[in-house]
A and B are shown apart, each in its own frame.
Chain A
Amino acid sequence: SQTIHQWPATLVQPVGSPLSLECTVEGTSNPNLYWYRQAAGRGLQLLFYSVGIGQISSEVPQNLSASRPQDRQFILSSKKLLLSDSGFYLCACKLTTVNSPLHFGNGTRLTVT
C-alpha cells in the first residue's frame, strides 16, 4: 500500500521568505497527487493536483506554486510568503483506478510571522 512522506512537520517562516514543502510517495507508481490547505477553523481547500510528471492543475489563484519533477515527488513552493499563507498543508495521493482510496500525509503546519 502507499506511504506518503511529507516534511517538515512544522515550519515557522518570516513574511517574504521562500517556501518549499516536499511530498514523496512510496508503494505505487503514477499516482494522482494533491496539495490541500486547511486554514484555521476552515475546511480543506484543494490548491493543486497532478495526474502526471510536469502536469499541474491549480484550483485557486494564490501566492503558491507546485511542481512534480518525478513521478512520486510533489513540491509546494512560494517565492515570498504572506501572512495569509499560514495554515496546515496536506499532501494526498490516489491511484488512477476507479474507486481507489485517498491517502494523506501527516501534514505540515506552517506559521508565517
Chain B
Amino acid sequence: KAGVTQTPRYLIKTRGQQVTLSCSPISGHRSVSWYQQTPGQGLQFLFEYFSETQRNKGNFPGRFSGRQFSNSRSEMNVSTLELGDSALYLCATSRGIDNSPLHFGNGTRLTVT
C-alpha cells in the first residue's frame, strides 16, 4: 500500500513569488491536512480538506490557500512569499472520520530567499 506522497521534495523561491505544493493521499483516505513546521513554532495546522471541501482552518493569512480534487489529491498554494514562509510543509491524510489516525508524507522543504 503506497504511502502519502508529497512533491516536490525541495523548493527554493524568491520573496514575492508564489508556490504550489502537492499531496497524494493513501488510497481510501478522503481527508488531507496541511501543517507548517518551523524550529521556532513547531507544527502549526494550516487547513484540512475532506471530500473537496475545506472542513477546518488554522490561523494563517489568506496568502495560504488549498484545494482538493475529486481523487482526494490536494494542493497547497502560497502567494507573495515572505522570508518567514521558509519551513517544512507536511501533509497528513486519514479516512477523515473521528477516530482515524493520521499518516504523514515526508514533506516539502521550502526555502524563500
A and B found bound together: no
Chain A positions near chain B (C-beta within 8 angstroms): none
Chain B positions near chain A (C-beta within 8 angstroms): none
